[in-house]
Amino acid sequence: MTIDERDTEFMTRALDAARAAGLHDDVPVGCVLVYNGEVIGVGENRREVDQDPTAHAEIIALRDAAARRDGWRMDGVSAYVTLEPCMMCAGALLNARVSRVIIGAMDEKAGAVGSRYNVLSDPRLLHEAYVSYDVLRNESQAMLREFFAVRRP
């Protein structure tokens, strides 16, 4: 699949969620889940505000979508994530059977969808997802850089 205007549109919405995370001192990462052109789930990092180590943007978005859909299966769903998912989030996307994952910035330290591991494209696992990279990469990276520049000078 190629990157199109819709990918940019939905990644922009994920960046909005990431900005919201930064406002409550969480790492600015956002996730938007889309089915048939409609947003069905939105998540922002909430680990600090919720004091929950599992409150990553992808997990929050999956919970939101599952509640709206009254079911956990995300067949046909695309996930737009501003930062490459970690091992936990890649596993959650895999287990939810998300069909496509669109990534803004890569995470060389903890990424599990191309940087460190390839969880979503491992044929030994029960599901594979199509992955697109670098959608609004510069915007995603800039937001993270600005956030950490203040906290880790």
Catalytic residue check, 58: yes
Q: Tell me the H-state helices in the chain.
A: 5-23, 47-50, 57-69, 87-95, 137-151
Rounded to whole angstroms, what are the CA distances from 111 to 65, 66, 70, 72, 107?
23, 24, 30, 24, 5
Whole-number Å distance between alpha carbons of 24 and 135: 25
Whole-number Å distance between alpha carbons of 18 and 132: 19
Residue type, 22: G
Residue of 40, 43, 42, 32 whose CA lies nearest to 8: 32
Annotated catalytic residue: which of 58, 84, 128, 146? 58
State the angle between helix axes of 5-23 and 137-151 in degrees (0 to 180), rounded to the nearest 10: 10
What are the catalytic residues? Answer: 58
